[in-house]
Each structure stands twice: as C-alpha cells, then as structure tokens.
Amino acid sequence: MLPFSGLRAVRSVIGEIATAGPIALAALIFVTGLAAQQAPATSLEVLPLRPNFYMIAGAGGNVAFQIGEDGVVVVDTGSASNADAVIAAIKKVTAKPIRYVINTSADPDHVGGNAIVAKAGQTLFTGNGGVGLAANFLGGGASILSADQVLARMSGPSGKPSPYPIEAWPTETFSQPRKYMYLNGEGIEIFRQPAAHTDGDVMVFFRRSDVVVAGDVFDTRRFPVIDVAKGGSIQGEIAALQKLVDTAIPSVPIVSREEGTLIVPGHGRICDQLDVVEYRDMVTIIRDRVRDLMKQGLSLEQVIAASPARGYMRRYGSDTGPWTTNDFVEAIYRSMHEKAQ
Ligand SMILES: [Zn+2]
C-alpha cells in the first residue's frame, strides 16, 4: 500500500529537508516515487503520506489534505500569509476542487488561511442553485467544519468586531463527541476533544488512508500548548493523547515493515503510535509530579522551582518564546487548581 519503504524513511527525509534543502527534497521524491513536477516551488514542503493523502509543512500549523473523486478535503489552512502557497501546493497535486476545510482549533496558524482556501474551492451543495450556510456565506466556496467553539471564537462576541472576516468562519459546526462524513471513498471521523489544547479541539481520522490529523494536542517540537484561558486543561490534553493512542495501530506483529497508522501532529514531523505513547507518558509523568507537589501544599512558584519537567526540558522545553517550560508547568498547575476548587 505504501509507495515508499516505510515511515522511518519519510522521517529521515523530513529531518534532512529541514537542513539540506533541495538535495533532500530530491531524495524525498526518489523515496516516494513521485514525479519531480509535484515538488513545491515555494518554501512549503509537500509530503505524500499515502497515494491520495498529503501533508504540507511550513505554512504555520501542519496542513493535511485527502484527494479523490469527490474533490479535496483539507484539514487546517495554515497562517493567512501562506494561504496562496497552500492553494498552489494543492493544485500542483490535483485539479479537483477543494470541497471541505476542517479546522482542528481556532488558532490563527490553523485557521488563518480559511477565507482564501475556502474561496478557492467549491461547496458540494450548489446543485440546487446554492443552499445552506456555505452557499450563502461563501458564494459557493468550500464548506468549513469545526467544533462549535471555533465559530464562537472566530466570530467574536456579539456587538464587538469579529477577529476574522465572515468568509473565514466555519459554515458547519458540531458539539457531539464524534462527527463523521464519507467522502472520496473513505470514512472520515472527527473526534471532539473537550478542554484539551483549547475548548474547541478536534482530531480527524481518515479511516481508509489510516491517517489521524491531531492538531495542537500533539506538537513534537515542544511541550503541548495548554491554553487554559481558552478552555484548555491538562486532563483533557492527556485524554486527547490517549484517544490518539487508542485510534492508531502500530506495525505489529511484523515490526520490520514499519507500517501502521500515521499521525500528523499540529506541528513537527510525522509520527506513529509509539511516538504518541512516549509523548503521552512524558506529559503524564510531569502532570503526576506537579500533582504530588501540589498535594504537599506547594505554591505555583514553589512547584516551578521544583522543576517537575526535569529530564524532558532539553527535548521539549524552552526558556524563551511563546510557550516556555514554566508556561507548561503553570498550565498544569492552574488546570488542577481550578478542578480542586
Ligand atoms: Zn498550532
């Protein structure tokens, strides 16, 4: 089924691309057997994961897309400034219209390209002269699907200016734990993960392609961002990682084949189930340490001083930037402190 020798090969190539540029990209094309004209002309990296499934890296959050008879289903649209490049990358692979955009959260690096990407597409629902929100709002552009909270956040409270134009807003939202569609010959399951990275997270499972697009509950570059102010929590974060582990299947019993479910994180490299198990264990161990310190009556400052993320800081931590190790520890503390109230 896989057009290449295995996940490890893709991984090593992804790692090389980051440092080696065009030579590694040539290697990617060799490994995947793709024609050279499908290589991106921009700085975006387009990685074929399956014959009908691709990942785009470098546009903000990771973007994934599935192609088939019905058109293109895109998960996340990257940052606004990269939207044209994302469309160009998709159009290099397929001439089919973009039918659906699914957002994994309301973060600007995941929904920023919504308006432009949706407008470049065409809703499935124009046959009767245009019905439904999609046609009304987008003039027939692709539908945008998300959890309820994403629309609430993107449209803003009533009476205040919206942070995003109406063309960027979800046209379909849902609140149930599982939403599904059947497009391009496969079942697509969308799992809502309440109170994880934020209050509006979903993970998207393409069942035949056997790919899960995880969103920012899983970030291989750093500790997971738990945005407590936007409804995130450590409990929901660990539950989301557990759902990923439960959904994915590793390459057993024939480990040497290096097959199995592929997981596209919100940021970082392609992973398999074992990678998520390790990440879940790391987050759980740090949560347990913070919980033990809190049981001893330590304050937030004392918990941070006790360095509960020790052993993982070199791999995932940071002292500077938008999400430091201390930010992560504080988010765990505040999640559990609020729960205890
Ligand atoms: Zn992100």
Are residues 33 and 66 in contact, defined by beta-carbon separation less than 8 angstroms? Answer: no
Pick from 152, 189, 193: which is nearest to 169 by CA? 152
Q: How far is the CA of 256 from the centre of ligand 1 (A)?
A: 32
- For 244, the enclosing helix (H) or strand (E) is helix 234-247
Nearest-angstrom CA–CA distance, 20 and 107: 30
Q: How far is the CA of 189 from the centre of ligand 1 (A)?
A: 21
Q: How far is the CA of 59 from the centre of ligand 1 (A)?
A: 10
Predicted pLDDT at 39: 43
Q: How far is the CA of 78 from the centre of ligand 1 (A)?
A: 9
Q: How far is the CA of 76 from the centre of ligand 1 (A)?
A: 10
Q: How far is the CA of 103 from the centre of ligand 1 (A)?
A: 11
Predicted pLDDT at 323: 97
Q: How far is the CA of 99 from the centre of ligand 1 (A)?
A: 23
Q: How far is the CA of 79 from the centre of ligand 1 (A)?
A: 9
Q: How far is the CA of 85 from the centre of ligand 1 (A)?
A: 18
Nearest-angstrom CA–CA distance, 208 and 18: 29
Question: What is the DSSP pairing of strand 262-267 with strand 98-102?
Answer: unpaired
CB count, 10 Å around CB of 31?
17
Phi-psi region of 258 (alpha: psi -120 to 50; beta: other; left: phi over 0): left
Give the homologous superfamily in CATH for domain 40-280. Ribonuclease Z/Hydroxyacylglutathione hydrolase-like (3.60.15.10)
Q: How far is the CA of 226 from the centre of ligand 1 (A)?
A: 11
Q: How far is the CA of 84 from the centre of ligand 1 (A)?
A: 19
- SS3 of residue 111 by DSSP: helix
Q: How far is the CA of 124 from the centre of ligand 1 (A)?
A: 28
Rounded to two decimals, the pTM is 0.85
Q: How far is the CA of 254 from the centre of ligand 1 (A)?
A: 34
Nearest-angstrom CA–CA distance, 324 and 328: 6
Are residues 28 and 47 in contact, defined by beta-carbon separation less than 8 angstroms? Answer: yes
Q: How far is the CA of 172 from the centre of ligand 1 (A)?
A: 21
Q: How far is the CA of 35 from the centre of ligand 1 (A)?
A: 30
Q: How far is the CA of 107 from the centre of ligand 1 (A)?
A: 6
pLDDT single digits (tens) 124-178? 876 544 444 544 454 589 999 999 999 999 998 888 889 999 999 999 999 999 9
Query: Please, what is the angle between helix 234-247 and helix 325-340, to 10°?
Result: 100
pLDDT single digits (tens) 186-218? 999 999 999 999 999 999 999 999 999 999 999
Characterize 237-271 residue by residue with b for buried, 16 or more Cβ atoms within 10 angstroms of its Cβ, and e for exposed: bbbbbebbbebbebbeeeeeebbbbbbbbbbbbbb
Predicted pLDDT at 43: 84
Nearest-angstrom CA–CA distance, 188 and 133: 21
Q: How far is the CA of 270 from the centre of ligand 1 (A)?
A: 15
Give the domain ranges of the chain: 1-39, 40-280
Are residues 77 and 110 in contact, defined by beta-carbon separation less than 8 angstroms? Answer: yes
pLDDT (tens place) for every residue of the chain, 341 residues total: 344 344 544 444 444 343 333 333 433 433 333 333 444 445 899 999 999 999 999 999 999 999 999 999 999 999 999 999 999 999 999 999 999 999 999 999 999 999 999 999 998 876 544 444 544 454 589 999 999 999 999 998 888 889 999 999 999 999 999 999 999 999 999 999 999 999 999 999 999 999 999 999 999 999 999 999 999 999 999 999 999 999 999 999 999 998 999 999 999 999 999 999 999 999 999 999 999 999 999 999 999 999 999 999 999 999 999 999 999 999 999 999 877 76
Q: How far is the CA of 72 from the centre of ligand 1 (A)?
A: 22
Nearest-angstrom CA–CA distance, 110 and 13: 24
- Which residues have beta carbons under 5 A from ligand 1 (an ion)? 61, 107, 109, 216, 266
Q: How far is the CA of 210 from the centre of ligand 1 (A)?
A: 22
Q: How far is the CA of 197 from the centre of ligand 1 (A)?
A: 10
Predicted pLDDT at 216: 98
Are residues 318 and 324 in contact, defined by beta-carbon separation less than 8 angstroms? Answer: yes
Are residues 180 and 160 in contact, defined by beta-carbon separation less than 8 angstroms? Answer: no
Predicted pLDDT at 330: 98
Four-point Cα dihedral 332, 333, 334, 336, nearest 10: 80
